[in-house]
Amino acid sequence: MIDFKKEIAEILQMQISEFGIEEIYSMIEIPPNSDMGDFAFPCFKLAKVFRKAPNQIAKDIVDSIGAKELFEKITIAGAYINFIINKEIFARTVIEEVIKKGDMFGSSEIGGGKTVIVEFSSTNIAKPFHIGHIRSTAIGSALNNIYKFIGYNTVAINHLGDYGTQFGKQIVAIKAWGDKSIIESNPIPELLKLYIKFHEEAEKDPKLEDEAREWFKKLEENDKEATELWQWIKDVSLMEFNRVYDMLGIKFDSYAGESFYSDKMPGVLEEMREKELLVKSQGAEIVDLEPHGMPTALITKKDGSTLYITRDIAAAIYRKNHYDFYKNIYVVGSQQNLHFKQWMKIIELMGYEWGKDCIHIPFGMISLEEGTMSTRKGRVVFLEDVLKKAVEKTKEIISNKNPNLEDKEKVAKEVGIGAIVFQELSNNRIKDYVFSWDRTLNFDGESGPYVQYTHARASSLIRKAGLDYLDNINFKLLSEKEAMELIRILNKFPDVVIDSARKYEPSVVTRYVIDLAQAFNKFYHDHPILVDDVELQRARLALVHTVKQTIKNGLKLIGVAAPERM
């Protein structure tokens, strides 16, 4: 595909030898209004070199360049040189590229096979997979897809919360009030009831907290009963979690959670002692981070047991040794900002230069309309319930609007679940928001169903045409303003994907597919596709095809299906 920006940089560099190609390339802009041109080059920085007013420099350069086949016009607007691309060449370049690359349009090889780890979802064993987990799960899965699409070798890790004092609490609760057969019939809700009961009883009898700590200590020491109970809790929990992951179409390369690093922590602790980082404090071991503007980090408790921070340090070292990562990305809520700053600083103090490649991707939190979610108090909304309700609502809509639709069940799942994921990824990840059933299941406006319907509409047009439209395309017939706007948007997709990866922001892709769908619907409204003029119909169908393909590719990156019929 012709890189018009690069072509402009090369043309300009012949007139501005004092600047390198890369610097000129970085200065080229896309005007806010396409009427001004497709690309613009500001001449302000050239004033010191040429000792002239920027607008005069712009005029001199344009006079020197002369006519070029790639551009219909090269004009001046004050200190800017505006480049208007030859419409036929532009349409041919973009459309042929989309047709040629198909499902890989927008992909690149900039990753060069380097390994990127994406840790996301990281559900807690024996606790609900609730609506709050949609954030890490959807953002992380999308980032994993995006990095893979641009040539990185990705490793999707679900760092399960399967260790810690809460398992001591769970074991105490099961032994005191639990029934395995009842738990196995409905694992997470039953385990949640026991977890809530433990905290209720512990308020009356604080000795239960000591008993829980004792059971966790036994677990760390590989006590047979503690280990067997813990493994059983983990197994029944994962059966529940995997049902939700299957609904979302998400797969992980590793489920190595906190427990995986239990036998690796003694070596890490010894290394920290040898490097004189650990300091004794009231029987516990700490790292003093106050000189680095952070509170002291507790590494081991006075009973010798470890904490989250200890396990995260051990996990990072293991991942570097095992995967030799280029980036080690953690998709974890913003309330953990201090925790990540602390352990990443400790990695740096241990002398590991690769610590800078460990990257925390924070996101805002979800709260309920009635207040903050709390597992201890049982105030949660199960994610599976949200997904099922979305599917049910979608089935109702389909029954009303298109009762004869084939594969109604399949489409309802694709659209209902897609609506949840799309909404999650349509706003900047750092924003907090309040979960609302009405807003989540509102399928109007800038939503996933709107984009999916646009894809289905494009598919329908192609089916109805019933002709071969990918050969002998007359690109001159796609010169209307709305067609060119569509082609400009299509041309941006590869850069959008890279920008999304660079910013760790899937919403860049989500907003793009909304813009593309809106531009297509405007084009479709103003310019009929199935016209009598076969040559014109063929050209417009080729454009419809490229929009359909690009919407599909964009939706796939964020984990949303693209139905052929709706």
- Joined together, the tokens standing for residue 413 give 């799942």
Query: In sequence order, which residues have a C-beta less than 8 Å from that of residue 259 and are 6 or more positions away?
Result: 160, 162, 163, 230
DSSP 115: E
Q: Tokens 């690009």 belong to which residue?
A: 550
What's the CA gap between 389 and 396, in Å, rounded? 11
What's the CA gap between 428 and 430, in Å, rounded? 6
Query: Could you confirm whether 127 is annotated as catalytic?
Result: yes
* Type and span of the H or E element at 504: none
Residues in the chain: 566
Listed residue (266, 267, 289, 264) closest to 279, CA to CA? 289
Instruction: Tell me the sheet residues that pair with 287.
Output: 297
DSSP percent split of the chain into helix, strand, coil, nearest 5? 60, 10, 30
What's the CA gap between 234 and 236, in Å, rounded? 6
- Which is the catalytic residue, given 133, 159, 413, 545? 133
**Residue 134 CA from chain centroid, whole number:** 11
- Which is the catalytic residue, given 130, 169, 413, 548? 130
Query: In sequence order, which residues have a C-beta less than 8 Å from that of residue 502 and are 6 or more positions away?
Result: none
Q: Produce one character per residue of 465-487: b if its CB has 16 or more CB atoms within 10 Å, e if not.
A: beeebeeebebebbeeebbbbbb
HSE of 445 in the Cβ direction (CA atoms, 13 Å)? 6
DSSP 85: E
Listed residue (255, 262, 265) closest to 216, CA to CA? 262
φ, ψ dihedrals at 558, nearest 5°: -95, 5
* Type and span of the H or E element at 86: none
Q: Are 327 and 144 in contact (CB under 8 A)?
A: no
Please state, in angstroms and as integers, the Cα–Cα distance from residue 452 to each residue in 257, 365, 548, following that order: 36, 27, 10
Q: Are 177 and 195 in contact (CB under 8 A)?
A: no
- Joined together, the tokens standing for residue 38 give 């497709």
- Which is the catalytic residue, given 5, 87, 127, 234? 127
Listed residue (544, 448, 541, 550) closest to 493, CA to CA? 550
Please state, in angstroms and as integers, the Cα–Cα distance from residue 118 to each residue in 83, 252, 327, 345, following that order: 40, 10, 8, 20
Residues carrying an active site annotation? 127, 130, 133
